């Protein structure tokens, strides 16, 4: 009887449907960061190389980011709910495989599978949510909750991982996905309806392959160069990756329905909004990953204690996402964007006093102040991007903004993480490619251990300063190029 009554109560059905949708959304975001505090235990269990460790972390984000727009188009053609159900099932299977992976190669493969599934979930979840709420004001509130949940998933991922590791083995950070996936598969057919676009273009498979291959080849070259130096492999791979991305961009201008409409970047407000979607997540993901290693492998905190240290920053970020619409209404979008870059830059600078002897207080202060900036950026990017383009291109603008978030999350670990790895290789004891690998080697003297930890902290500082400089430059560009009277759209979300 209950299953028959739910569809006849539109408001109740809508809010229950929102709760069901938020489960996969939270998982997709959380799995981008849940390994940050788990990597020391993963390294101890699977012994990945420095290159493999970075791929374990960011292959997921690259898979999600490179396929988001493609799966958005596929969902329009074949049905959003059908794609949601399929994606959730594959996400669950990938999570189970990752939990019991017996080696780094298998873990990378299952993380990639989870990323492909995650790319099916986000655009379809937002489309189905929009169908649930026909009233514009309620839809705006629902999309705001959707955006806050997505941001909260990024923020609490390391905290959840640390809590699980205090009682279970590293694979538990993936098994926690299974109950949520199972609940979604049971309730979604009852509470959600199929959604299809009335008109859509065909998905260009060549563009999908070019974008994914170009991104992965270019990032592989950067990582290889950071870990092993500038070799023929890294140079050739990098050139092939850049040429592939160039061909992808050229192809988009010739297609009637491109995966990425590069013509939108002619608008400076849109361009700055998309960069703001990318850069803060790059800084946040890199600092969260490197910070997790710092707290555990340098300062010697347990996974649970490291999670507690990360909790204030996660809480600040989540609360900021919720209150940012009120802030924007009072000070305007332009001022909010400038404020976010200033706070992130200041927060990153507060990492510089951290050392091998201590620094948890500085780390908490850094993540707390930067967390306000991250929360602002997560909340206003999509709205700003959509407001900058004509109404008929709002869908493309929102998709690009969402993609910039995911690519930024992966690029932060790939680029800033590779910078830290390069510093460690140049200044460390040259026994292994990462700090955790070095500390696991037998017979280390206190001097060698101290040198390894000092080299890692130097790499953390280098990544923080680089991200600080980039945010300072983007804040200055925003102040110079964004008009004071900037329009916004209510309810635009992720």
User: Tens-of-pLDDT digits for all 494 residues of the chain?
Assistant: 444 444 456 677 778 888 888 888 888 878 877 777 788 888 888 888 877 887 888 788 778 777 777 776 676 666 778 888 888 899 999 999 999 998 999 999 999 999 888 888 776 776 677 677 777 667 666 766 776 777 777 777 777 887 788 778 888 888 888 998 999 999 888 887 766 555 455 677 888 888 878 887 887 787 777 666 778 888 898 899 999 999 998 998 888 778 777 888 888 888 998 899 889 988 988 888 899 889 988 998 887 788 888 888 888 888 888 788 788 888 888 899 999 999 999 999 999 999 999 899 999 999 999 999 998 888 788 778 777 777 666 666 767 777 777 678 777 877 888 889 889 988 888 777 778 778 878 778 888 889 999 999 999 999 999 999 999 999 999 998 888 766 544 443 33
Going 292 to 295 to 298 to 304, the CA torsion angle's sign is negative
Q: With contact defined as beta carbons under 8 Å apart, do 406 and 378 qualify? A: no
Cα–chain center distance at 185:
24
Shortest CA distance to 225 belongs to which of 438, 439, 470, 414? Answer: 414
Determine the pLDDT at residue 227.
Answer: 66
What CA–CA distance (Å, rounded) separates 281 from 261?
Answer: 22
Best CA proximity match to 227, nearest among 219, 239, 216, 215 = 219
Contacts 24+ apart (CB under 8 A), 210-214: 210/244, 210/245, 210/247, 210/248, 210/251, 211/66, 211/245, 211/248, 211/259, 211/260, 212/62, 212/63, 212/66, 212/67, 213/241, 213/244, 214/241, 214/242, 214/244, 214/245, 214/247, 214/248
- 368: its two tokens: 């707390």
Asked whether the beta carbons of 425 and 433 are under 8 A apart, the reply is yes
β-bridge mates for residue 355, sequence order: 358
pLDDT at position 132 is: 75
Residue whose tokens read 């017979």: 443
Residue tagged 């909010």 (tokens): 336
Picking from 132, 130, 124, 131, the residue whose alpha carbon sits closest to that of residue 28 is 124
Structure-block tokens of residue 359: 């620094």
Compute φ and ψ for 355, nearest 5 degrees: -150, 180
Query: What radius of gyration, in Å, describes the C-alpha atoms of the chain?
Result: 22
* Beta-carbon-side half-sphere exposure of residue 417 (alpha carbons within 13 Å): 35
Question: Which is nearest to 73 in space by CA: 244, 257, 274?
Answer: 257
pLDDT at 353: 95
pLDDT at 396: 67
Task: Give bridge partners of residue 358 from the DSSP assignment.
Answer: 355
302: left (phi over 0), alpha (psi -120 to 50) or beta: beta
Global confidence as pTM? 0.77
pLDDT of 341 reads: 95
Q: Who contacts 318 (Cβ-Cβ below 8 Å, separation ≥6)? A: 148, 151, 152, 155, 156, 375
Rounded CA-CA distance 422/229 in Å is 8
Q: Do residues 235 and 220 touch, judged by C-beta distance below 8 A?
A: no
Q: Are 116 and 60 in contact (CB under 8 A)?
A: no
DSSP state of 294: I
Q: What is the pLDDT of residue 462?
A: 95
Looking at residue 14, its pLDDT comes to 79
CA angle 289, 260, 337 (to 5 degrees): 55
Cα separation of 219 and 196, whole Å?
35
HSE-CB of 375 using CA atoms within 13 angstroms: 29
Looking at domain 2-203+259-481, what is its CATH homologous superfamily? MFS general substrate transporter like domains (1.20.1250.20)
């Amino acid at each position: 009887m209950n299953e028959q009554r739910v569809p006849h109560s539109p408001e109740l059905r809508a809010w229950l449907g929102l709760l069901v949708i938020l489960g996969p959304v939270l998982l997709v975001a959380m799995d981008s960061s849940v390994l940050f505090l788990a990597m020391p235990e993963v390294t101890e269990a699977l012994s990945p190389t420095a290159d493999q460790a970075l791929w374990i972390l960011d292959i997921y984000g690259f898979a999600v980011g490179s396929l988001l727009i493609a799966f958005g188009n596929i969902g329009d053609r074949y049905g959003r709910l059908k794609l949601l159900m399929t994606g959730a099932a594959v996400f669950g299977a990938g999570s189970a495989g990752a939990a019991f992976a017996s080696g780094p190669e298998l873990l990378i493969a299952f993380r990639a599978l989870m990323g492909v599934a995650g790319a099916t979930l986000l655009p379809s979840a937002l489309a189905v949510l929009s169908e649930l709420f026909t009233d514009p004001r309620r839809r705006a509130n629902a999309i705001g909750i959707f955006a806050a949940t997505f941001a909260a998933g990024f923020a609490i991922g390391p905290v959840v991982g640390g809590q699980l590791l205090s009682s279970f083995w590293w694979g538990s950070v993936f098994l926690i996905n299974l109950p949520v996936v199972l609940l979604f598969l049971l309730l979604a057919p009852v509470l959600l309806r199929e959604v299809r676009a009335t008109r859509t273009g065909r998905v260009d498979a060549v563009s999908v392959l070019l974008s994914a291959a170009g991104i992965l080849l270019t990032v592989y070259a950067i990582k290889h160069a950071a870990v092993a130096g500038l070799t023929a492999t890294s140079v050739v791979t990098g050139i092939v990756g850049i040429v592939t991305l160039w061909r992808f961009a050229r192809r988009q201008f010739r297609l009637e329905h491109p995966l990425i409409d590069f013509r939108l970047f002619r608008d400076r407000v849109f361009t700055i909004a998309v960069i703001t979607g990318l850069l803060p997540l790059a800084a946040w993901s890199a600092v969260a990953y490197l910070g997790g290693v710092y707290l555990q492998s340098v300062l010697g905190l347990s996974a649970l204690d490291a999670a507690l240290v990360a909790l204030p920053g996660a809480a600040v970020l989540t609360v900021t996402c919720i209150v940012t619409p009120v802030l924007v209404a009072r000070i305007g979008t332009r001022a909010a964007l400038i404020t976010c870059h200033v706070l992130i830059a200041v927060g990153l600078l507060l990492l510089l006093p951290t050392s091998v002897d201590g620094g948890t207080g500085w780390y908490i202060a850094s993540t707390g102040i930067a967390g306000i900036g991250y929360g602002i950026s997560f909340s206003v990017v999509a709205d700003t991007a959509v407001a900058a383009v004509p109404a008929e291109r709002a869908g493309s603008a929102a998709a690009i903004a969402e993609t910039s978030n995911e690519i930024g999350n992966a690029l932060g670990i790939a680029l800033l993480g590779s910078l830290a790895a390069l510093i460690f290789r140049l200044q460390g004891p040259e026994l292994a490619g990462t700090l955790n690998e070095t500390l696991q080697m037998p017979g280390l003297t206190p001097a060698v251990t101290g040198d390894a930890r000092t080299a890692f902290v130097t790499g953390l500082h280098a990544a923080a300063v680089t991200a600080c400089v980039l945010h300072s430059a983007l804040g200055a560009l925003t102040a110079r190029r964004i008009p004071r009277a900037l329009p916004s759209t209510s309810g635009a979300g992720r």
